[in-house]
Amino acid sequence: MRYKPGKHRLPPFTGYGIMLVDKPILWTSFDVVNFVRNRFNVPKVGHCGTLDPAATGLLVLVLGKFTSYSEKLSGEDKCYEADMLLGVETSSGDIDGEVTSRKDPSQITEELLRSTLAGFIGEQMQTPPMVSAVKVDGKKLYDLARKGIEVERQAKPIVIHSLDITECDLPRCKFTLNCSKGTYVRTLCSDAGKKLGVGAMLTNLRRTRSGKFDIANALTIEQIRAFSQEDLGAYLARGLTLLMKG
């Protein structure tokens, strides 16, 4: 829905602050921004770190004059819960892409998987996937990918602070990840699959933390729908108080 402030039933919302949202699956990050903007007639809303439509979890929104903090907050470390499937590769590295390869992963042991994933901990260079919002010559990679165009991408420095397998039921495993901004978890899965020689894909991703903000404090879309402008103002005021204390 296009935002039309002049025709909105509510007056422009003049409050400001940070809103934590638990993004549902199939919503884009912009869908969430647009929802809040239209729901409350907020002239300025931004987000601090994109989540793919297939991913869920913490999306940090900045409202009003707090949009000036977007770049700073986007640069903070992130935590994720992820599911990986061995033996399958896709064009996007996750479930949204077309299957490009299938191999038998039965020879992969849990010990080998753990040691391989442990090898990704630390500073490294990672090449962004074609299906991403990274720009090359002013064009977003996912726009080029939709046209069947693949271009050379420049690897970027990232840091994996920790990577822990929480459940292993081969050929599937679940892990938690603490990493720097700009880390693509589907690329991490793909790279791990290549090292193992069988391929791998990301099947589920949930962001649980961004900087000091935790998913436990995030609002669902249903909770936001029940808010009035006054409720939103009170929510932002409480958040600003906590930020100042922190």
DSSP states of 32-46: HHHHHHHHHT-S-EE
Residue 191: other Cβ atoms inside 10 A: 18
Which of 7-16, 39-48, 220-229 comes out lowest in average pLDDT?
7-16
Give per-residue pLDDT as tens, 58-68.
999 999 999 99
**pLDDT for the residue numbered 145:** 46
Q: How confident is the model at residue 239 (pLDDT cuts 50, 70, 90)?
A: confident
Categorize the per-residue pLDDT at 53 as very low, low, confident or very high, splitting at 50, 70 and 90: confident
Q: Enter the tokens of residue 20.
A: 């934590």
For residue 124, the cross-strand partners are: 158
- Look at residue 55 and give its three-state secondary structure: coil
Q: Which residues are catalytic?
A: 52
